[in-house]
Amino acid sequence: MRTLTPSAVAALSARELNIVRLVRMEFPGFDVALNSSNQDIVYEGVTYLGAAGLGAISQIDDSPGEIKGMQLEMSGVSIDYLALALADATIVQGTQLTMRLAILDENWQVVDAPVDWAGALDTMPIQEDGETCTIAATAESSAVDLLRGTPMTYSNVDQQALYPGDRAFEYLNSQIGKPIVWAGKQWLIALNGK
Average pLDDT score, the chain: 80
Residue 21, in any domain of the structure: yes
pLDDT at 149: 74
Same domain membership, residue 132 and residue 171: no
Give 128-186 pLDDT, tens digit per residue.
776 667 777 888 888 777 777 778 888 889 999 999 999 988 888 888 888 877 777 77
Same domain membership, residue 80 and residue 170: no
Domain extent, residue 16, equals 6-146
pLDDT at 165: 93
Same domain membership, residue 187 and residue 122: no
Same domain membership, residue 165 and residue 138: no
Same domain membership, residue 63 and residue 20: yes
pLDDT at 43: 92
Those residues with Cβ within 8 angstroms of residue 167's Cβ, 6 or more apart along the chain or in another chain: 156
Look at the pTM and tell me if it is higher than 0.85: no
Residue 67, in any domain of the structure: yes
pLDDT at 86: 61
Same domain membership, residue 178 and residue 138: no
CA distance 26 to 40: 18
Same domain membership, residue 88 and residue 48: yes
Whether 70 contacts 142, CB under 8 Å: no
Residue 121 CA to its chain's centroid (Å): 10
Same domain membership, residue 187 and residue 102: no
Report the 10 Å Cβ neighbour count for 5: 11
Same domain membership, residue 106 and residue 170: no
Q: How many domains does the chain have?
A: 2
Residue 151, in any domain of the structure: no
pLDDT at 163: 93
CA distance 66 to 146: 12
pLDDT at 166: 93
